Homo-oligomer: A and B are copies of this chain.
Amino acid sequence: MMTSTQQRSQTRRQRVLDAALIVFANHGYGDSAIDEIARASDTSKGGLYFHFPSKQALFLALLDEASAALLRRVERSMAGVTDPLERGDAALREVLHVFGGHRLLARLLLIEALGAGKEFSTKINDLHAAFAALIAECLDEAISLGRIPPHDTQTAAYAWYGAVNHVVLRWLMTGEPRRLEETYPALRSLLLYGVTGAPAEQES
């Protein structure tokens, strides 16, 4: 049970994280000033430093939270879907849905976290690896079920995620297409059947 003091502390901590998302996602890590985040969280610089020991730690905490939120939602959308390929499909839909609804989250994870320096690579690596594991698991299960032929599921999983990411990136940087989720059919088709398309329906 939390005392009200602890609650207020948590609230403020969250306010800082919220502001940090906005500021970091808009200016990038290097061009974001602690001052601005403090101002945006209605806190003083000293207050911010009470909750986070350094700018780096704040950014890492933000990446942690953002990655975890994204993964949680994707995992939940996959839970309960028994067919492995449909599970991958659910992941695809959810990624597009989440990023499509959280432009800032997308900017943070796909753009700003990358160029922020080696200190953060690990975090981003972890996220990529977690996603790849999620997808690779689907593929491996599909293979073991004989639904798809065996292949290098590691590389395929990374490629799968990269394809999605890059489409999100285009949306972030050019604004096209207007609604990110419009890309779902094309992505689904490419990932399932490649550019050569679905196999001709049997029974010609």
What is the total number of copies of this protein in its complex? Answer: 4
The size class of the interface chain A forms with chain B is 35 or more
CB nearest to A161 among chain B residues: B166
**Which residues in chain A, 140-172, are within 8 Å of chain B measured between CB atoms?**
142, 147-149, 151-152, 155-156, 158-167, 169-170
**Which residues in chain A, 166-190, are within 8 Å of chain B measured between CB atoms?**
166-167, 169-170, 173-174, 177, 183, 185-187, 189-190
Contact A197 B156 (CB under 8 A): no
Q: Tell me which of B31, B159, B174, B199 contacts A187 (CB under 8 A).
A: B159
Which of A6-14, A39-47, A61-69, A112-120 is near enough to bind chain B?
A112-120
Contact A173 B121 (CB under 8 A): yes
Is A91 interfacial (CB-CB < 8 Å)?
Answer: no
